[in-house]
Amino acid sequence: MSGSQVYRARLVGSGRALSGTCDCPAFDDWGFCKHLVAVALTVNAASPSALGDVEARRTRIGEHLRGLGVNRLAARLLEVADRDQALMRELEFETSLGGADDSVLFEQIASALDEATAVEDYVDWRGAGTLADDLRAVFEQIRQLLDAGRAAVAIKLLDRFFDDAEDLFEAVDDSNGEVGGAMAKPRNCI
């Protein structure tokens, strides 16, 4: 039996340490939804050959993309980024990381950090996972700054985050520990 809508579910972890997101309305209202349960049950019941089919599919797609050539691949990626704001931000950051001065990088990531932590109302447990994902994305950019030898900018950004972290944490029901886990990530950067 299938439903009337197609939703994108993302499940991570193993055993009892599972978390995930789904773009269905129930996930927004209640958190871990039936779609995530269905994904977990499907993966658990899958044969090794079925799991291999998933990897083979990724391999075929990778081969196709490599075959497009640089110009067509770049054009395709930009088309997708035009529809995906998060991807566009990642590409802008990667572009800036190579040559932008520290003040440009700081402003770019500070803007993403401000957007991720802009909590207008109380965030209940159903929205905590999305907030945690947004924080992880920003912290990954800060880690990349450190890897690129831009520690001064990274430290300035982390200072900015930790100045407001307590207020953010008080505005979130983090009973599943997702935001706390994401907030631990920058501590592991340094």
- Residue-wise pLDDT for 105-134, tens only, equals 999 899 989 888 888 888 887 788 888 888
Q: Is 120 helix (H, G, I), strand (E, B) or coil?
A: coil
> Is there a contact between 119 and 171 (Cβ–Cβ < 8 Å)?
yes
> Which of 148, 153, 158, 160 lies closest to 95 in space, CA to CA?
148
Q: Determine the average pLDDT of the residues in 145-166.
A: 90
**In whole angstroms, how far apart are CA 30 and each of 2, 23, 47, 174?**
21, 12, 31, 14
Q: Determine the average pLDDT of the residues in 7-25.
A: 80
Provide the whole-model pTM.
0.62
pLDDT above 90: percentage of residues in the chain: 26
In this prediction, residue 109 carries a pLDDT of: 92
Of the CA atoms within 13 Å of residue 112, those in its CB half-sphere come to 25
Does residue 8 carry a pLDDT above 60? yes
